[in-house]
Amino acid sequence: MTTKGEQKNFLVRFLTMNTSNEVGGRDLPLWRQLLLQILTLLITLEVMFPIMYIITLSFSSQTTRPSSLQLIPREISFVAYQQVLDRPTANPVTFLELLRNSFLLSVGVGLVALMIAVTAAYAFSRFKFKLRQVLMIMVFIPLLMPAVGLSTPLFLLMNSFRIVECSPGVLAFNPFTTCSTTGKLLFNLRDSLLGVGIAMISGALPFAIWNLKGYLDTIPRELEEAAAIDGASPNQVFFLIVLPLAVPQLAVTFFLGFIGHWQEFALPWLFLTKPQDYTLSMTLYNMTGQYANAIPWNRFSAFAVIVALPVAITYIALQKYITSGLTTGAVKG
């Protein structure tokens, strides 16, 4: 396996590779050059086909379904974008609410997981202690489970946390206190963004610990040793030296998490029933397949573009870190 540093730079090197110092670079015969250009153009067509298709559709003002293939926009109309921002689906929920829910989940889960993970990652990276191996395996085991694998118990456990109004003014907090009669359900943790967030943290936390530990292992220890010799306590070493050094990687872990959580679909789609809690990816699903007959394709396309943009922008901004992060998380599906 190649070293970490090499992998980290794959994407950057892929895009900026220096091609001028290649030997014999100019003597590619013209017929070969043309042949290779045809090949690369064909591949370009393959890559651009769905992208141009969806962009063309999204700029169309026609609400009827496409009757012929169009890959280059004939008109630039923002009607579809406007309609989608106005009222994405038949559900009584605005685009801003969907955006807020997606953001709350992806940013909240990312931040909380990171804050909890960083001290654990530090302990695994720097301390030698008796249960180290056992505890590290305990962190690793959930990583083996595909995210969907824990959805049943999380669903059932969250579902048992309910606030019920037994009679006016009398509340019962299931499962700690219960009503003698059936009351009015006020709140169900399972059917709330909070519950989905907690369930998502369950998957995000082991990943964050593992990812951060891998990075902390690569930070040289000289600084910490020097500080310790100067009389800094281990806590001071952590908060004043390691934490500031780890900020770039904390950011990368956060954004990698963000990319994943932004697309999270399985848990919200399983947990949430109220339209005002829906996220962007749930709405995207609602726009295709059996429920989608009423949604014009130009609106669906505009929505797909909007959902894809934050991820694409984050990726491009972070490209030099992405590959390493992906291979670190290779265990998780």
Partner 1 sequence: MATMEIAGSVSRGARIRRALLPYLYLLPAFTVMAVITFYPLVYQIIVSFTDFQTKDLRFGLASPQLNWIGFKNYIDILTGGLPVQNFEFFRVLTYNFWWAITNVMLHVPAGVLIAVLLNVQGLWFKKIYRAIYILPVVVPPLVVATVWRNIFDEQYGAMNQFLTTVAMWFGATDPVRIRWLTEYTPPIPWLLPNGPLPLAYYAMMIANFWLGWPFMTVVATGALQSIPKDLYEAASIDGASDSQQFWHITVPLLRPAMIPAAVYGFTTSFNLFAFVYFMTGGGPARTTEILVTFAYDLVRNLRLYGAAAAFSVFIFFVSLTVFLITNRITRATETYTEA
Query: 48-67: which residues touch partner 1 (CB under 8 A)?
Result: 48-51, 53-54, 65-67
By beta-carbon proximity to partner 1, the closer residue of 104 and 123 is 123
Q: Which stretch binds partner 1 (CB under 8 A): 13-21, 79-87, 88-96, 243-251?
A: 13-21
* Binding flag, residue 192, partner 1 (CB under 8 A): no
- Distance, in Å, from the CA atom of 144 to the CA atom of 81, rounded to the nearest integer, reads 40
State the nearest-atom distance from the C-beta of 43 to partner 1, in Å: 6
* CA pair distance 149, 135, nearest whole angstrom: 21
CB of 106 to partner 1, least distance (A): 12
Query: Which of 95, 207, 215, 300 forms a contact with partner 1 (CB under 8 A)?
Result: 300
The residue (of 256 and 304) whose beta carbon lies closer to partner 1 is: 304
Q: Within 234-293, which residues bind partner 1 (CB under 8 A)? A: 234, 238, 259, 262-263, 265-266, 269-270, 281, 284-285, 287-289
**CA-wise closest residue to 209 among 239, 243, 253, 252:** 253
Q: How far is the CB of 49 from partner 1 (least distance, A)?
A: 8
| Closest C-alpha among 164, 190, 168 to residue 177 | 164
Site string for partner 1, 72-111 (x = CB under 8 A): ----------------------------------------
Query: What's the closest the beta carbon of residue 154 comes to partner 1, in angstroms?
Result: 5
Sign of dihedral through CA atoms 152, 277, 143, 243?
Answer: negative
List of residues 6+ apart from 320 with CB closer than 8 A: 8, 9, 11, 12
By CB under 8 A, the residues from 139 to 168 that bind partner 1 are 139, 141-142, 144-157, 159-160
Judged by CB under 8 A, how many residues of this single chain contact partner 1? 121
93 versus 209: smaller Cβ distance to partner 1: 209
Smallest distance, Å, CB 234 to partner 1?
Answer: 6
| Cα-Cα end-to-end distance for the chain | 20
Among 36, 38, 90, 186, binds partner 1 (CB under 8 A): 36
Any long-range contacts for 121-127 (C-beta under 8 Å, 24+ apart)? 121/208, 121/209, 121/210, 121/211, 121/212, 121/213, 121/215, 121/216, 122/216, 122/238, 122/242, 124/209, 124/213, 125/213, 125/216, 125/217, 126/216, 126/221, 126/224, 126/242
Q: With respect to partner 1, which residue has the nearer C-beta, 104 or 145? A: 145
315 is a contact residue toward partner 1 (CB under 8 A): yes
- Residue in 106, 202, 249, 298 binding partner 1, rule: CB under 8 A: 202
Q: Given CA atoms 201, 97, 290, 305 in this order, what sign does their dihedral have?
A: negative
Give me the least distance between CB of 203 and partner 1, in Å please: 8
CB of 257 to partner 1, least distance (A): 14
Residue 5 within binding range of partner 1, rule CB under 8 A: no
Among residues 88, 183, 206, 296, which is the contact residue for partner 1, using CB under 8 A?
206
CA 272 vs CA 15, 159, 188, 230: distances in Å? 41, 11, 10, 54
The correct pick among 63, 78, 82, 132 for binding partner 1 (CB under 8 A) is 132
